[in-house]
Structure 1
Amino acid sequence: MHVPDGFINAPVSVAAGVVAAGAVAVSLRGARRELDERIAPLAGLVAAFIFAVQMLNFPVAAGTSGHLLGGALAAILVGPYTGVLCVSVVLLMQGILFADGGLTALGVNISVMAVTTTVVAYAVFRGLVKVLPRKRRSVTVSAFVAAALSVPAAALVFTLVYAIGGTTDVPIGRVLTAMVGVHVLIGLGEAAITAFTVGAVIAVRPDLVYGARGLRQKLQLRVGGELVDATPEPALTPSLTPSHRTRNVWLTGLAASLVLAGVVSFYASASPDGLEKVAADKGIDARAEAHAAADSPLADYSVEGITDGRLSGGLAGVIGVGVTVVAGTGIFWTVRRRSTTSETTTTAASTSPTSV
């Protein structure tokens, strides 16, 4: 659903950029509370994993494909504020290095693909886990439903943006029907990927899943006529595992991302994605503009100068994963460090003696 340059006029693109900048600023502040010693090391990896999986277009219907948007996955794994930042980092890397998603449309893409999907998904997810039984399966089910709804929600927001600032005169009702219809199907693929990934992490390290924290009620036993708290089940409590287990999870996730981007991506569907298909069918792309980074050596997910398609695309994917994990990790560690420094300063100020 990467919106290219020329779909949305300049005033609305600027307005969307302001909205996106505001959302990122709020997310930077909110992420300080989410990026603890467990989440901080993994946030950059989540961004890299989303980058990798977005290269895996899957077929849906009528010559159309779809790919992961990632907002639901990021929000559930590392928190909603950090999730917005994860997807934003991916979109930034894609736009600058791979000419995927217009640079003038970056604000639109962040607003639609990062903010909308994350907010909608996490709101649905939290609502469901509050009413479903407090079990691991409920987390996976909630993740599936949240992800499935987040994609058509993003399609709806894009349609609203296009209704306000679209550059072609297309009946908005036709655009709405086509966009939401195809993205309902794409949402099912998003839901399957999200639920599978969240379930896989929960099975290994449930304490690393932000959305699964504190879901199990305390078990109480009656001893001598009184209720006494039993030892909590380790699966949903803060981990006491050594740090090397977290490193193992990180390395496993990075290896999976590299394999997906470098090898599996070659077998992805070549059909246009949902927005591309609707744009071509309805005439939305009549005023599409060439990407400002079209001459990038990595444009269109290929490496300039390498003629072998499999090698070129795979190497571009590996480079993309590497750049994204480095950029994301740098950003999130900086946010975490500032949060830690701020907490230390506040604690020092509150405990220092005052002169009378």
Structure 2
Amino acid sequence: MFPYLIQDTSFFVPSQANPEDGGLLEELCETLILTIVMILWKGITGSDDEAWIIRGQVFSALHYLHRDYEFYLPIVYIERRILELSMETCLNDLRASGGKTTSTYENNCRELIKIVDDFLSQTTETNDRITENFINGILPILDTMLIFEENGTGDQTASTLISHDEHWTETSLTGLNILLNLLSHSNVSYCGPASVRIHSLLHSRPLNGREEAAYLLSNVNTVISSISQNEDCEHFGYLLPIMKTIIDKSYEILQMNVQIPNVPLRKATSTALDDFRQYCSASNSQEWQMFIQRHIEPLAEHYRSMSIRPFHMNMKIWWNNCYEMMMVGIHKRNRQIGEEKLKFQ
């Protein structure tokens, strides 16, 4: 049921008394993690908000215990493994249904996408939060949940995002945020699949205004700037086509025709990508840097404050609710224990 269980070797815990026992300790920890996942998916039934509040209490309990006790494994590792195995469970459910998505599957995936996005958004350093198993779980889920189709006119540029219900916008935005996190990862094998999906997304629907265009341009430019010093040609090979698509689709709404009319990616030449790489580097282009700082970042920040941060704030509220419900449960249990003790006095 969980093929990833014996494949993850990203963390090894040696025994202080006997280093050779590290493998046994690691196996024990993985078994305990599997037990937690079994409780999440077999012990808690349903896919509605109430069921996920209960599942959230399991994560809250881990953090509650971590405050007073030292874990053998980093809590980030434990959370990541729980998410990896949870995503595998969702995909198993999809395969069991013959590839047909059900309301239960969609609800569970929707909640998992939000938790994964929250997990990745807690820090700018995601190297220890993303593994091959993680990628193999989240990308297929995004593929089945982020569905785009034409609006019936046959005009691909006028495609719109299907909105099955009020949750869909949140799911699509959090999914996009996950892809952007993968795009910025130092491991090119993670960046590649994310870039393909972002590129497909950009071609499947129009940009929703200047703010969204600026948000995408800002994020991709940040990644490009971060690897400029590394001269990673393979990474650039994934990023520059995305940047070209964003520029092509937002050239007029972001007034690039006025602000930066000479941007190389607008020219249909064989050296356009290499020219842009030189053009956008801080040492060679004040024009591009000033355009980003003065015109793009304010719009991108407005988009983050209006569209991205509210979702993260909702997640904080959700986690607080999970924690409060967990504490209520602990209080009830302690009271019951006290009442039972009194019966024997």
TM-score, normalized by length of structure 2?
0.31
TM-score, normalized by length of structure 1?
0.30
* Higher normalized contact order (CA 8 Å, seq sep 6+, divided by chain length): 1
